[in-house]
Amino acid sequence: MQSIISKGKTVEEAIYLGLDQLDAKKSEVDIEIIQQEKQGFIGVGKRQAIVKMTLTNAQESTQPSSTTSRSTIDAIETYLDDMPASNPKNETKIEAVVTENDEEISDKLAGMAWVTEGKLVVKDSPTQLPTVTIGEGIQLIKNNQPVKQKSTVISEKDHLEVYFEPTSEAVTKWKVTLDSSKLNAVLSIEPGYRITRTLEEVEPSDHIELTLIENMENLNTLQYKDVLAKLEELRVVYGFNHSSIVEAANATEPGDYTIATGKNPEPGKNGWIELKVEINPMNGLVEDQSGNVNFRDSKHIPTVEKGSIIGIIHPPLPGTPGVTVTNEPLLAKQTHPLKVVAGKGMEVVDDKLVATESGRPSVEQRGQLAKVKIVPKLIHQDNVSIATGNIRFHGDVEILGEVEENMLVEAEGDIIVHKSASIATLTTLKSIVVKGNVVNSDLAAGKNNMLIVELGHLLGIMNSQLEQMISVIKQLMNSPAFKSTDFSISGLQPLIMILLEKRFKNFLPYAKNYQEVVEKGQDYLEDKEWVQVGLSIKQIFLSLSNQVTTLDRLNNLQKTMKELADLSQLPVEPNAYITISDTINSKLYCSGDISIIGKGCISSKVHAGGKLQVKGVVRGGEVYGRLGVTINEVGAISGVKTIVAVPKDQTIQIKKAFEGTILKIGNITTILKDDRKHILARLDDNDAIIFQ
């Protein structure tokens, strides 16, 4: 089996060099560490790492046997290199002074050693020999052999030599870098230094320690002219900060100095709508200064007459360019016009939004897409019951009575119920206000927004995988195997099926999930592009289609998926909300804020995509607020399970909490061991729940 001895500054380097010499991989050799590396101190005691490497599957080496012999010799030479047989470079040699019969030295010094004027002095005694401890950075040679122990006995008969490095220097290191936008030129400097060492004076003693005195001097050799020359080399001509250059040239500590600064571009403004009328209904059930709720004035829905100007559409305003330190223009971020989609009852005339019908104006904006329309209103004078039937309306619904058992109210606008809802279902794209009790009912507001967030999340995952799939297909198109098939004629679907089976197994579950969500919620999706994407996904990935799947079709689908995924992450304005008095055994789900301002929430599940506020009590069930939770009182003396949850970056505020209440922040959960008041809970930097 072929073996070699490899050396390096570290074990890793020795292994790397050995593998290169053997032309082998690490898995193909057995490695035996013969010697670990040792850094030493200022060059003293430093040694290389040595490893023995043997090929595990190689044939007998065809090289002469002298190869192993040469490696062995190299290893021996390495050991010899550790021994200072001659005076090392840049080291000071001090020979010891042997006193012998110097009559001037008192007999009181017999058996002692000392250091004077940089020399080691020894005086023997018939009964005692002095000992010496060797300090860091010192090599003691005794009778031409290095002393490896920390301490040793010395006498007048020994030939003693002391080695150490008298001086060491480090040059000043500096560099000038430009950031990625060339807005700043930064000078990074690490000043140099010079260390001067001398052997410390030691009083006579039977045991002494050899130590060094170090004197460090800072050496900053950076010159102002050198920095200017470097800036000229980098073509920096704008925004010089001369005082920073001078400060860096006089620095005694490492640091970064901004020596030239460009000018940031000033951002412009995207296109926007300047509203001329009030369009947002007042959030219902608002308390007055005394804490009472005025139910009569709890909901005001603004209306406009036919021909009214709702708003003015403004074009985008460009930003002001900046300049880099190399005097290049730095363009401001591009601004975009507002895309306005006029729905029923609204028309765009030049730059104006004009109502063509009377009713409530609605402007819903997500990013740079605004949908405007006039929303009709249905006023239901009685209870919603079996006698009246369920209500489904493409506008606002106001119910002057209550919603009775097993009845359904669906709306595209706002829903307001003047009395209670019992064992009922209320669903809307906008907001819900219920003045009475909500018992055993399901309320969902902002259904469209919730669907878009969920579908956008799925598209984001699939888009990433589709990008990779397209990349693989492009590579395959250049291969002879692809050109010999009929994929280019019959379409890519057979190839896609192979990729889904071999490389992208996780794609199909997300595609099927997307289909299920679209099918269940397509009635609530105002933008049918989500449905069209679902249809394309089904045709390409989930079924055999007669349509030819081309690379262009895949690219177009991927582009649309990315646009919709990005759109789903933008907040919608205005967002939906739910405001009720109190609830029992119900489910409340809203893409925006939820406010329960009456007695509270009993054994219910509440999910707010915005803030959750409960003025009364929360007993039993689970409540969640994406943007935080504020509760007056939570839990129960009976210990009924009550969970209050927020994401990891939000807080929970509670005035009073009973023992056993469960607080969940992100994935971290804690159970209160006793009753507590005035809680403000959040996660600290170590992902532990803390109370403030």
Q: Residue 75 above 50 pLDDT?
A: no
In this structure, what CATH number is given to the domain that contains residue 298? Answer: 2.40.50.100
Examine the domain organization and report whether 124 and 77 are in the same domain: no
pLDDT value of position 239 = 92
pLDDT value of position 657 = 93
Residue scoring higher pLDDT (443 or 86): 443
Examine the domain organization and report whether 67 and 96 are in the same domain: no
Examine the domain organization and report whether 146 and 216 are in the same domain: yes
Q: Residue 62 above 50 pLDDT?
A: no
Least-confidence region, from 268-282, 283-297, 412-426, 605-619: 283-297
pLDDT value of position 76 = 39
Determine the 3-state secondary structure of 540 from DSSP.
Answer: helix
Residue scoring higher pLDDT (665 or 449): 665
Q: What are the CA-CA distances from residue 628 to residues 42, 283, 475, 591, 690 (Å)?
A: 58, 19, 48, 14, 15
**Mean of per-residue pLDDT scores for the chain:** 84
* DSSP-assigned states of every residue in 468-490: HHHHHHHHHHTSHHHHTSSHHHH
Pull the structure tokens for residue 567.
């759109």
Examine the domain organization and report whether 342 and 489 are in the same domain: no
In the chain, the percentage of residues whose pLDDT exceeds 70 is: 86
Cα-Cα-Cα-Cα dihedral sign, residues 116, 118, 124, 128: positive
pLDDT value of position 485 = 57
Residue scoring higher pLDDT (549 or 200): 200
Examine the domain organization and report whether 163 and 249 are in the same domain: yes
Q: Can you tell me which residue has the tokens 């790492």?
A: 49
pLDDT digits (tens, 9 = 90+) for 318-356: 999 999 999 999 999 899 999 999 988 899 999 999 999
Residue scoring higher pLDDT (522 or 621): 621
Residue scoring higher pLDDT (303 or 167): 167
Q: How many residues does the chain have?
A: 692
Chain center to CA of 73: 53
Quick one: pLDDT band at residue 426, thresholds 50, 70, 90? very high
Residue scoring higher pLDDT (462 or 104): 462
pLDDT value of position 66 = 38
Residues facing residue 662 across a β-bridge: 643, 671
Examine the domain organization and report whether 218 and 123 are in the same domain: yes
For residue 234, what is the DSSP state? Answer: T
Examine the domain organization and report whether 131 and 205 are in the same domain: yes
Q: Residue 570 above 90 pLDDT?
A: no
Q: Residue 642 above 90 pLDDT?
A: yes
Whether 166 is covered by a domain: the verdict is yes
Quick one: pLDDT band at residue 44, thresholds 50, 70, 90? very low
Instruction: Report the amino acid identity of residue 252.
Output: T
pLDDT value of position 287 = 54
pLDDT value of position 61 = 41
Among the candidates 81, 99, 130, a domain finishes at: 81
Residues facing residue 198 across a β-bridge: 213
CB 48 within 8 A of CB 37: yes
Chain center to CA of 30: 41
pLDDT digits (tens, 9 = 90+) for 453-490: 888 889 999 999 999 999 888 887 776 655 555 555 56
Q: Residue 689 above 50 pLDDT?
A: yes
The number of domains in the chain is 5
Examine the domain organization and report whether 279 and 256 are in the same domain: no
Whether 143 is covered by a domain: the verdict is yes
Whether 607 is covered by a domain: the verdict is yes
Quick one: pLDDT band at residue 8, thresholds 50, 70, 90? confident
The H or E element that residue 77 is part of is helix 66-81
Examine the domain organization and report whether 33 and 69 are in the same domain: yes
Among the candidates 31, 53, 81, a domain finishes at: 81
pLDDT value of position 65 = 39
Q: Can you tell me which residue has the tokens 């262009």?
A: 552
Whether 419 is covered by a domain: the verdict is no
pLDDT value of position 83 = 42
pLDDT value of position 233 = 93
Q: What are the CA-CA distances from residue 427 to residues 27, 252, 379, 402 (Å)?
A: 63, 69, 17, 15
CB 162 within 8 A of CB 140: yes
Q: Residue 125 above 60 pLDDT?
A: yes
Q: Residue 100 above 70 pLDDT?
A: no
Examine the domain organization and report whether 14 and 132 are in the same domain: no
Q: In what order do the strands lie in the sheet with 212-219?
A: 167-170, 192-199, 212-219
Whether 587 is covered by a domain: the verdict is no
DSSP H helices in 147-258? 224-233, 242-249
Quick one: pLDDT band at residue 57, thresholds 50, 70, 90? low
Whether 110 is covered by a domain: the verdict is yes
Least-confidence region, from 19-23, 140-144, 399-403: 19-23
DSSP H helices in 49-186? 66-81
pLDDT value of position 660 = 92
pLDDT value of position 452 = 85
Examine the domain organization and report whether 356 and 370 are in the same domain: yes
pLDDT value of position 13 = 80
pLDDT value of position 489 = 58
pLDDT digits (tens, 9 = 90+) for 148-172: 999 999 998 899 889 999 998 899 9
pLDDT digits (tens, 9 = 90+) for 264-290: 999 999 999 999 887 765 544 555 555
CB 479 within 8 A of CB 460: no
Examine the domain organization and report whether 613 and 639 are in the same domain: yes
Among the candidates 505, 539, 572, a domain finishes at: 572
Quick one: pLDDT band at residue 293, thresholds 50, 70, 90? low
* Range(s) of the domain holding residue 300: 273-323+337-375
pLDDT value of position 89 = 41
Least-confidence region, from 372-376, 447-451, 619-623: 447-451
Backbone angles phi, psi at 173, to 5 degrees: -110, 130
In the chain, the percentage of residues whose pLDDT exceeds 90 is: 48
pLDDT digits (tens, 9 = 90+) for 519-547: 888 777 777 888 999 999 988 888 876 77
Q: Residue 405 above 50 pLDDT?
A: yes
Residue scoring higher pLDDT (377 or 86): 377
Whether 45 is covered by a domain: the verdict is yes
Whether 433 is covered by a domain: the verdict is no
Q: Residue 385 above 50 pLDDT?
A: yes
